[in-house]
Amino acid sequence: MTDQKTRSPRLPGWLPLWFGVAGGQAAWAVAVLVAYPTVAAVCNADASRVWVHLVRWTALGVALAATAIAYRSWRAAQAAGDDVPPGLVNRVRFMGLGGVLLSGAGAFLLFVEDIATWVIHPCL
């Protein structure tokens, strides 16, 4: 039997890998598609712009979750033992690091867009 410390960690499946790669961009795209009609409704009703921020904060949470999952996948590939095929480890490592960069960029875009909404009123 193998000791718990010497066992290689389980590599993630295809769903967490693809969520890590595409989750940040998908969250940004959905936020843009939802924010445009939300801004129109807020401006027409002369309501608070908290609704616009809520859309971006929700998408930012999804993008940060995708970045965290991608990072965890990348770290699992780094810690994989010799019993895992090298092609699988390389794919998980590549997709994990790509997900950290891509979903992190999506989270950064959402953050910058939200700052712009705080500085400049969206109804101008």
Q: In 3D, which of 98, 111, 116, 103 has the Cα closest to residue 49?
A: 116
Low-confidence ranges of the chain (pLDDT < 50): 1-8
Q: Give the pLDDT confidence score for residue 30 in this predicted structure.
A: 96
Percent helix, strand and coil across the chain, each rounded to 5?
75, 0, 25
Q: Where are the domains of the chain?
A: 14-119
Q: Give the pLDDT confidence score for residue 63 in this predicted structure.
A: 97
Q: How far is CA 52 from CA 17, 48, 57, 122, in A?
A: 30, 9, 9, 9
Q: Give the pLDDT confidence score for residue 9 in this predicted structure.
A: 58
The three-state secondary structure class of 9 is coil
Q: How far is CA 68 from CA 28, 84, 109, in A?
A: 16, 23, 16
